[in-house]
Structure 1
Amino acid sequence: MELILLDESIIKLNSEQSVKNQRILKEQAGHRLSIQLVKFSPNSKFLLSGDWQGAVKIWHVNHSVIEKYATIFFFDEGIEGLNFSPNCFYVGAGTESKLFIQGLINGQFTDAHEILPEEPIRGGIFTFSPDSTKISVITYDQVMFFVDIQSNEIIGSIEDIPSLGGSNSGILAWYENYLFIGLLNGSIAVYSTENFSLVKNLESGHTDSVLSLSLMKDGADMRLLSTGADGRVVIWDINSSSIVSRTDPFERSIITVDAAIDSKILVYGTDRETFIWNNETNDNLLINLSNTTNSTVSISPDGNIIARATDTNNLTIYSSQSGEIIQKISGREFSVTDTLISKTGSFMLISGDDGKIHIYDIQTLTEINLLKGHNESISGLSLSDDDQYLISTSYDDSIIIWETASGNVVKKIENVDLPSAVSYFSDGVQSLVVIGSASDSSVRFYDLYGKLIYKEVIHEDYIHQLKTHPNSKGIFSVSDDKQLVYWNNKGEGIKLIKSYQEITAYEISEKFHFHFLGGNLNLEVWDTNKLSLVTRFDLYEPISSLAISPDEKLLLIGCQFTVYLLELDNIIENKPIFVSDHEEPIKKILWDVQSSNVFYSVTIGAGILYYEIFSSDQLKKVPEQIFASKVDENIQSPISENKILGEYQVENFDINNVNQLIANEYETIGSEIKKIARIIQEEVPESQFDSYKRIIDNMKEMQTLMKKGISYLP
């Protein structure tokens, strides 16, 4: 990994303090999972790659060398569609259910927006219009929508589209006023984009499914290329709809084709082979024969280089003239699954989905040890109070207790049934390893010899996190079942809070008596004594991690791509302050245990940002993006039982009354959102409107969320 130092940014807090951040460890550059699609930009300056993990990366092409990158999208579904607009001002990326458009102006990215978020679209099957103002995308109801990119409004549609031959964006081609679609029956449907009707079908080219399409110039003429499951490549004359050339059938399906738009060179491939075809000499050159599965192939429009990826997550660049490999970009070795800073603050632990644990010196960020003992992804890490022991859990059904200093295995506990979370617990009398099981949603207590002491099932779904009480009084657990549960040292559990969302992150403040529950939409703050909801912050981004500063004055909020800080001294008046954006999803945020002025964020690609809080006159103005929801003081945790355990007591409540209160608040918020959007549209001058575009996009997203919000009520 590369140690780097980037320009720092400075953010103002409410208390006249500021936060500066510096990237100190660069993310691994490559993809983690198999690359599904690659696509060069029309100007040959950029290359897109999308993988099965949902990551879309953009690479800069400098004199046929691929360099630099940024992760511009990260979905929770595999990538099935990638494309540039013809003018290179937009990048499109789609999954099986979503399609996003990202602006790209002079190499700089503008805000992304989702295309038709309320429609059942097949987000991977789309293409841009020749003038780059529209986009076409198909739905699962076999309707092709034509959408204005700027307004995100449907301007036309075609119903009853026949079954498609392919399953990604390569099955469509848009030339002038015609849209070409490869079909399952081996033909190519041609539709008018002016009156949205069928013009003709191109038949007799293939005897089986058409799997991909591409456009190519042949002198003054424009050609359409098609490949099929029959193993043929066909070149069509667009004007006459006649076949110009057709290869003999290959023994395997030709799944992908691309052409250098102003060149005689085209490239095509099966799931094993890659060929270069010179249309002028009719020569075919095999440039790749692999035992691994190949994905789509792309050739730079200037005809110089070819990109192809495999399911081994590597990206290979070939010379289109010689067919020789000129560059290989290796995939990343692992994605981060958990991370910790030692109690002494001297080292950081990072675990991966490769089953390994990396230990870094906190000062130099150099790797000082690598622990190998698990066979599958590591699900959790925990340290003993004195850092002497490290506990790791893995989806290989094991727990390992390590001696931290030496890296030796003290004890391996097997047959644990999918441990999803872990916490070391010591009350001064006994030391225990506590885990949550993804198999039966139980919480289990083991001694350090591997003996199961207690086991109880209270949760009804996946357990995300276990956290030891700050004073070692017990353990807290949170789950997708929306419940916060407290466990004492005898393995007895009690339901404390039933949230209004699936809980993905938890933190507690003893000083201010707050439970913090993070979910897919917002941050909830609950009173630890009354078990009543104090306030809620609507972040509209999944929360992955929460962390209280050592002095308990600040709460770190790690969302999917964004870090916020919340000052706790006046939580009703304060709002979370934006600190930084990340290109890749944040796995965890961590305080330096020795200081309440230093913290870190770690991405799934093992990129680390360092932050320092200080007093300064250098301030960066950040627009407020967080809305504090109104909360009725009478709302209490919807738990339907009376039970006393230790210091906690839970009372009954009227669930229908609570649901009605929440529904009323959703209606109020929705109304306010519409007012804000209307003010911007009516009052902001056209010359300044781009500055407010992100707010408008957020408003539209909020309106969509409002419609779905009531479904989250218990």
Structure 2
Amino acid sequence: MHYRPSIFAFTTVLLTSVNLCWGIYANAQKPPISAKSQQTTALTVNKNPLQYTFKRHIWDVSTLVFSPDANKLISGSFDETIQIWDLKQGKLLQSLPGHKDGVNAVVISRNGKTLVTAGGTAENRTDTKIQVWNIGNASQVNNSQKSSNRNRSIRKLHTLTGHTQGITGLAISPDGQTLFSASYDKSIKQWDLTTGKLIRNLVNHGHGIRAIALANDGRTLVGASNTKVRVWDAKTGNPIRTLTATPDSVEFIGFTPDSQTLIAGSETTIQVWNAQTYQPLQTITSPWIEGFKAFAIHPQRKTLATTSLNNSVEIWDLTTGKLSQTVIPAANHHHFDQIYPSSIQFSPDGNHLAIGYGGSAYLRNFPIHLRRL
């Protein structure tokens, strides 16, 4: 397995358990004990404020997505696996293999039936494939399925090849027919999800692409490359404009659910634009020297949640750009100063917040009424 060599690598996330501390370290090395021998499943339940703590990954959770009905949580990790959790019962549905260099991106279609996963790095080209799965009827793994690590209701539909370096971002069109993938190879590719065929390449980026986002109306696609955000017409593949986003490299990007606001963030700065006129609305600066790691946009409120490299989670008012709340994860062990919440995601109804911290996932009620998670 290969792991990111820097604590500033691109991620998207889950949360860690209080009794298992994993981090991304500078010059990170493979753990001395194999991933297979370390895989265990643990679940902690506490009704308020913590709902679930999922512990399954043996390395940092890099990406996280809820199913549209909010009944499933899917996590990807640098340990090269994807875990699918049942949020009603707090049980593991399936562990999916298939990647050789860590999982960077996971996306699910609006009907909840198609899951797409991808990974890889800029330096190592051992995993440049995109895996497309049918998970529409995923049910709990029984004992016989655990032994073979298979759930027969989950099927791999396609393996997409074409990128020459690791994949950093994925987006599915509202109708579930089209996939966009971004890569360190400086390209965005558009795929037909039904056939698995490549439709077109969007290649005007001058640097590796760190993140992409598709507006909820399916019309506009954006890609983050170095300090720039390139805006594309998602239907035609034509470029619309290029925005100068932040003083340093843009790491994450997204639209508000109404497709009216575009948000791009780097370690130090988050820039907010009107997505119709591209006029800047707000500039949010990290309150910490350590900087931002990831963000999540609330599906209903004008609210942004961020994670930071100083081990905190921040809640921001997007209308004013002001900090509303700072929360410290309960798993914050100060003697492990390189462990931090590496990713964050709101549930589709906005009532829960999932945070990635080490190899586990915390699921919290939202709003958060305590200073400590």
Q: Normalising by structure 2, report the TM-score.
A: 0.72
Query: Hey, what does 2:3 align to over in structure 1?
Result: none
1:407 equivalenced with 2:138 (yes/no): no
2:263 and 2:173 mapped to 1: Cα distance? 23
2:314 and 2:227 mapped to 1: Cα distance? 26
1:563 equivalenced with 2:288 (yes/no): no
Query: Hey, what does 2:110 align to over in structure 1?
Result: 385
1:480 equivalenced with 2:229 (yes/no): no
Residue among 189, 207, 212 paired with 1:444: 189
Structure 2 SS opposite 1:483: strand
Q: 1:427 to 1:344 in 2, by over 3 A?
A: closer
Matches within 5 A, 1:266-665: 312=32, 333-395=58-120, 396-404=127-135, 405=138, 406-426=153-173, 428=175, 431-439=177-185, 441-448=186-193, 449-499=195-245, 500-509=247-256, 513-539=260-286, 540=288, 541-560=290-309, 561-568=311-318, 570-571=319-320, 574-581=322-329, 583=332, 584-594=339-349, 596-613=350-367
2:15 and 2:284 mapped to 1: Cα distance? 30
Structure 2 SS opposite 1:525: strand
1 or 2, which has the higher helix percentage?
A: 1
Matches within 5 A, 1:18-97: 26=17, 29=20, 53-54=24-25, 76-77=26-27
- The structural deviation recorded for 1:563 is 1.0
Q: Which runs of 4+ in 1 moved over 4 A?
A: 618-621
Q: Which runs of 5+ in 2 are unaligned?
A: 1-13, 35-56, 121-126, 139-152, 333-338
Q: 1:24 to 1:355 in 2, by over 3 A?
A: closer
Aligned residues of 1:511 and 1:552 also touching (Cα < 8 A): no
- The structural deviation recorded for 1:571 is 1.1
Aligned residues of 1:546 and 1:557 also touching (Cα < 8 A): yes
Aligned residues of 1:423 and 1:468 also touching (Cα < 8 A): no
**Post-superposition CA distance 1:478-528 (Å, at most 9, x none):** 122432433422222333411232111112236594322211112222233
- The structural deviation recorded for 1:30 is 5.8
- Could you say what the CA RMSD is over the residues aligned between the two structures, in angstroms? 3.1
1:338 corresponds to which letter in structure 2? T
Structure 1 SS opposite 2:32: coil
Matches within 5 A, 1:125-140: none
- The structural deviation recorded for 1:354 is 2.9
Q: Which runs of 5+ in 1 are unaligned?
A: 1-22, 33-52, 55-75, 80-309, 315-331, 622-714
2:32 corresponds to which letter in structure 1? T
**Post-superposition CA distance 1:99-132 (Å, at most 9, x none):** xxxxxxxxxxxxxxxxxxxxxxxxxxxxxxxxxx
Aligned residues of 1:562 and 1:579 also touching (Cα < 8 A): yes
1:576 and 1:77 mapped to 2: Cα distance? 35
Structure 2 SS opposite 1:613: coil
Query: Hey, what does 2:53 align to over in structure 1?
Result: none
Alignment identity in percent?
17
Q: 1:586 to 1:31 in 2, by over 3 A?
A: closer
Query: Hey, what does 1:143 align to over in structure 2?
Result: none
Matches within 5 A, 1:96-135: none
- The structural deviation recorded for 1:29 is 2.3
1:503 and 1:620 mapped to 2: Cα distance? 29
Q: 1:604 to 1:387 in 2, by over 3 A?
A: same
Aligned residues of 1:27 and 1:605 also touching (Cα < 8 A): no
Aligned residues of 2:80 and 2:98 also touching (Cα < 8 A): yes
Looking at both structures, which has the greater relative contact order when contacts are Cα pairs under 8 Å and sequence separation is at least 6?
Answer: 2
- The structural deviation recorded for 1:427 is 5.2
2:201 and 2:27 mapped to 1: Cα distance? 35
Aligned residues of 1:482 and 1:501 also touching (Cα < 8 A): no
**Post-superposition CA distance 1:108-159 (Å, at most 9, x none):** xxxxxxxxxxxxxxxxxxxxxxxxxxxxxxxxxxxxxxxxxxxxxxxxxxxx
Q: Normalising by structure 1, report the TM-score.
A: 0.39
Aligned residues of 1:360 and 1:366 also touching (Cα < 8 A): yes
- The structural deviation recorded for 1:389 is 0.6
1:387 and 1:502 mapped to 2: Cα distance? 32
Aligned residues of 1:336 and 1:604 also touching (Cα < 8 A): yes
Aligned residues of 1:394 and 1:418 also touching (Cα < 8 A): no
Query: Hey, what does 2:10 align to over in structure 1?
Result: none
Aligned residues of 2:210 and 2:224 also touching (Cα < 8 A): yes
Q: 1:477 to 1:24 in 2, by over 3 A?
A: closer
How many residues get paired? 304
1:26 corresponds to which letter in structure 2? S
**Post-superposition CA distance 1:432-471 (Å, at most 9, x none):** 12111212x1111111222111002122222222222021
1 or 2, which has the higher strand percentage?
A: 1
Q: 1:577 to 1:351 in 2, by over 3 A?
A: same
